[in-house]
Amino acid sequence: MASAAVLAGIGMAGVGFGRQYIARQLPNLSQKASKAFQGLSQLDAASIANNKYYKGGFEQPMTKREARLILSLSPAANKSKINDQFKKSMFANHPDRGGSPFIATKIKEAKDVLEK
């Protein structure tokens, strides 16, 4: 019985010391967290360039660069590669198959721009 009381006392003391340690560390943690969030908000050009998705709107009129981005083509792509990518993209995004009519129009426009 006495040993249970001693163990309970040691456990309560441990909880108290742990709570005190955490209370002392909170100001340091908030400073470290704010520095980490500041670092996340500042994106460099390399991280944007390595991103899989293009972060921008459509240009008017469509440029060849934008057309290549839409069809996922390299600047040296030939006409057969352009047609293949057009077919793949239209198959995946056609309005009859649940795709967006706007995106399908942009894919068609990209093909027309690259074929000129």
Q: What is the pLDDT along the chain (116 residues), one digit of tens a residue?
A: 778 888 888 988 888 888 888 878 777 777 777 776 666 555 554 554 555 655 666 768 888 888 998 898 888 889 999 999 999 999 999 999 898 899 999 999 999 999 88
3-state class of 76 per DSSP? coil
- Angstrom CA distances, 82 to 21, 54, 62, 66, 92, stand at 64, 19, 16, 14, 15
| Placement of tokens 């056609």 in the chain | 94
| Placement of tokens 């002392």 in the chain | 24
Q: How far is it, in rounded angstroms, from Cα 50 to Cα 53?
A: 9
pLDDT above 90: percentage of residues in the chain:
26
Q: How far is it, in rounded angstroms, from Cα 115 to Cα 113?
A: 6
Confidence (pTM): 0.52
